[in-house]
């Protein structure tokens, strides 16, 4: 039995081994006097990308199992985990592609950043397939530990160090709350496995305290708070703008993309599969509304690009929570479609930000000359911003449309209404990019350097997917439907 468990986890095991080998390679050769202390960041980046691509191939080549419980019910593999893991790996590969030229431009010789990205990807893979509170906590903690270090990876920058420290202190606090919630659930039910918990919460199995005891409710509340902190939902978002701004841009891109997939996948598994109950649904209703409103209003006052994108990310978490708090199959389906489109748009916008980074691009006003010096990049950024704002027929509109439709389907009219209103408000700051690029006279003329080939190809693929998604959405619909069914049935 154990042999089959290891076989089923072969892609994860491969990625962990590849990461360890890359770490040894980096440590041994970068400190070698014989080779004159070579900067290995470029080699490690390419090898890391290769490892992720091989992991994707290993995962995709195996036929998805209907359902398999591994390591004494600690992990699960089904259609939901299969597609989420592939999606996570593709987004990690995109992040590494974005950073291939970054280290050289920033004169940053930190191959450890790539190792940490790979290590956190491994933990996120485990987080997606976690089927037990202990396995879940361990995966989240490993991911968080990597993130604390990676946020402070630019050691000579005060902002980066501050971001790392801030993230570490607040993250450790939220991990403590999450662990406290897990221990309360264990104390009141005597089980940690999601399946056993689901049986208790549906009334299939009776416990001494009953499924409705206040202790269990407090446990769920603490777990929810821990998750809300990790995913930057209001009112636990306060760390996000500072950490996103202070961290190196590559790290900000990674923070905005990969953890959203893994944490939402884990939240769906925990709250919709195990703890399904209308009481926590109200909590997520509130968080969704608060995130949408704060994301829309706070972003209007921002002048720095990374801070604006941080608030935009908070707003989008609010939109994604619409699907999540519905708790229906349509809700989960719309959430998955929403995450996919959000990740596409974020990869696109961060590829542009990283491409312009070499010109010390920091403020939105620095974009003034872009439409004159590189009109194609300006059009790309405009299309992405229109998509973020939810203007038809771009992918962002489709994402919001399905989310609002799911809310209407489950009777959450207020959520849909607030979603529409905040979308209209958010148009103001997204379209401000277009106004600055096309209608304002630039304060200073910047001659933007041409970007590298990898970034341009990444931009091309994401741009085509954003622009033409509405013509051919059926594969994504089918996948998301299958994922939602495998979770709910």
Partner 1 sequence: MVATATMVGAIMGLSCQFYSNAVRKLPLMRHPWEHVLAIGLGAGFGNAVASWEVRLQEDLDKKLSEVQTANNKRYIGTMRAVED
Q: Which residues are near partner 1 by CB under 8 A?
A: 374, 376-377, 380, 450-451, 453, 456-457, 459-461, 463-464, 474-475, 478-479, 481-482, 485, 489
Coil, strand or helix at 69 = strand
The angle at the Cα of 95, spanning 250 to 239, to the nearest 5 degrees, equals 50
Query: How is residue 351 written in tokens?
Result: 């590829």
DSSP letter (8 states) at residue 270:
I
Q: Is the CB of 356 or the CB of 415 nearer to partner 1?
A: 356
Q: How far is the CB of 423 from partner 1 (least distance, A)?
A: 28
Considering the complex, state which of residue 425 and residue 461 has its C-beta at the smaller distance from partner 1: 461
Residue 132: phi, psi to the nearest 5?
A: -150, 145
Nearest alpha-carbon partner for 402 in 313, 310, 308, 469? 469
Place of tokens 């199992």: 65
Please identify, using beta-carbon distances, which residue of 13 and 461 lies nearer to partner 1. Answer: 461
**Which one, 301 or 457, has the nearer CB to partner 1?**
457
What are the E-state strand segments in 71-202?
A: 75-78
Both tokens of residue 402?
Answer: 């399905």
The contacts of residue 297 (CB under 8 Å, 6+ apart) are 425
Q: How far is CA 238 from CA 114, 161, 228, 244, 303, in A?
A: 27, 17, 11, 11, 18
Nearer of residues 326 and 378 to partner 1, judged by Cβ: 378
In sequence order, the 6+-apart residues with CB closer than 8 A to the CB of 371 are: 378, 437, 438
Residue whose CB is less far from partner 1, 190 or 450: 450
Least spacing, CB of residue 203 vs partner 1, in Å: 17
Q: How far is the CB of 466 from partner 1 (least distance, A)?
A: 13
How many Å apart are CA 155 and CA 168, to the nearest integer?
15
Q: How far is the CB of 62 from partner 1 (least distance, A)?
A: 15
Shortest reach from residue 303's CB to partner 1, in Å: 26
For 289, residues 6+ apart whose C-beta sits below 8 A from its C-beta are 318, 414, 415, 418
Q: Give the nearer residue to partner 1 in terms of CB position, either 208 or 489.
A: 489
Q: How far is the CB of 136 from partner 1 (least distance, A)?
A: 26
CB 433, min distance to partner 1, A: 17
């Amino acid at each position: 039995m154990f042999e089959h468990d290891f076989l089923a986890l072969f892609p994860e095991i491969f990625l962990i081994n590849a990461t360890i080998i890359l770490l040894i390679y980096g440590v041994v050769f970068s400190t070698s006097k014989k080779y004159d202390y070579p900067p290995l960041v470029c080699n490690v980046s390419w090898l890391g990308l290769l490892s992720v691509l091989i992991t994707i191939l290993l995962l995709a080549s195996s036929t998805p199992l209907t359902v398999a419980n591994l390591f004494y019910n600690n992990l699960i593999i089904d259609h939901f985990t299969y597609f989420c893991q592939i999606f996570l790996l593709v987004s990690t590969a995109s992040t590494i592609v974005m950073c291939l030229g970054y280290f050289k431009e920033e004169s940053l010789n930190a191959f450890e950043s790539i190792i940490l990205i790979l290590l956190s990807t491994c933990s996120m893979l485990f987080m997606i397939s976690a089927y037990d509170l202990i396995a879940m906590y361990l995966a989240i903690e490993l991911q968080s530990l990597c993130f604390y270090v990676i946020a402070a990876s630019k050691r000579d920058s005060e902002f980066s160090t501050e971001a790392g420290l801030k993230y570490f202190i607040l993250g450790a606090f939220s991990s403590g709350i999450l662990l406290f919630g897990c221990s309360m659930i264990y104390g009141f039910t005597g089980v940690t496995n999601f399946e056993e918990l689901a049986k208790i919460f549906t009334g299939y199995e009776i416990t001494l305290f009953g499924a409705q005891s206040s202790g269990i409710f407090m446990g769920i509340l603490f777990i929810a708070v821990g998750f809300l902190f990790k995913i930057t939902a209001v009112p636990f978002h306060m760390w996000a703008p500072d950490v996103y701004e202070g961290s190196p841009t590559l790290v900000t891109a990674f923070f905005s993309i990969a953890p959203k997939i893994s944490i939402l996948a884990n939240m769906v598994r925990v709250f919709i599969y195990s703890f399904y109950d209308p009481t926590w649904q109200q909590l997520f209703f509130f968080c969704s509304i608060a995130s949408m409103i704060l994301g829309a209003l706070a972003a209007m006052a921002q002048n720095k690009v990374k801070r604006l994108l941080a608030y935009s990310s908070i707003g989008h978490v609010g939109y994604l929570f619409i699907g999540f708090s519905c708790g229906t199959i349509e809700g989960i389906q719309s959430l998955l479609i929403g995450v996919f489109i959000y990740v596409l748009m974020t990869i696109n916008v961060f590829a542009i930000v990283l491409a312009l980074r070499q010109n010390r691009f920091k403020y939105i006003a620095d974009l003034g000359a872009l439409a004159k010096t590189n009109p194609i990049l300006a059009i790309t950024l405009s299309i992405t911003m229109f998509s973020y704002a939810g203007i038809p027929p771009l992918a962002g509109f489709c994402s919001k449309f399905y989310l609002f439709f799911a809310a209407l389907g489950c009777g959450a009219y207020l959520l849909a209404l607030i979603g529409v209103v905040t979308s209209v408000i958010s148009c103001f700051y997204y379209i401000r990019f277009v106004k600055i690029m096309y209608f304002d006279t630039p304060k200073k003329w910047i001659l933007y350097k041409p970007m590298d080939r990898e970034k341009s190809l990444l931009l091309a693929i994401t741009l085509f997917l954003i622009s033409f998604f509405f013509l051919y959405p059926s594969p994504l619909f089918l996948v998301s439907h299958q994922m939602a069914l495998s979770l709910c049935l």
